[in-house]
Amino acid sequence: MPSHRDRSSRNNWYNILAILESYEDCTLELPGLGISLEYSPGAVVGISGKVLEHAVHNFKGDRVCYAYFIRDNVHEWANVLCSDWMNTSYYK
């Protein structure tokens, strides 16, 4: 997957990525942070896909990524209110 951001999402929404199959030498690149994370089979990662540029460039073997995310227009279509950032004042 080339380096990208999920522009149809919101800053405070997280993508959940679950990785399966048999592969090796795979990393999740976060260029804006200057880091690479080991992306092993069975990994589950949550990132703000709109805020963080992300990519997976190379790996050896077979890999399946289940990506859970929602687009802003889906919320509008379903008439569902959009969430906001969590705030500790909600619990006081």
User: Considering the domain boundaries, does residue 34 fall inside one?
Assistant: yes
User: Considering the domain boundaries, does residue 7 fall inside one?
Assistant: no
User: Considering the domain boundaries, does residue 62 fall inside one?
Assistant: yes
Q: Which residues make beta-bridge pairs with 65?
A: 19
Q: What CA–CA distance (Å, rounded) separates 14 from 86?
A: 13
Amino acid 7: pLDDT: 86
Residue 85: CB partners within 8 Å, gap ≥ 6?
12
**pLDDT block averages, 10 residues each, the chain of length 92:** 86 87 89 91 90 89 84 83 73 71
Amino acid 33: pLDDT: 93
* Number of independent structural domains in the chain: 1
DSSP 72: H
- pTM to 2 decimal places: 0.73
Amino acid 36: pLDDT: 93
* Cα three-residue angle 59-15-60, rounded to 5 degrees: 5
User: Considering the domain boundaries, does residue 79 fall inside one?
Assistant: yes
Amino acid 74: pLDDT: 84
Amino acid 92: pLDDT: 67
User: Considering the domain boundaries, does residue 9 fall inside one?
Assistant: no
Cα-atom radius of gyration of the chain, to the nearest Å? Answer: 15
Amino acid 90: pLDDT: 66
User: Considering the domain boundaries, does residue 28 fall inside one?
Assistant: yes
Domain that holds residue 69: 15-91
The token pair at 51 is: 């805020």
Query: Phi and psi (nearest 5°) for 90?
Result: -65, -25
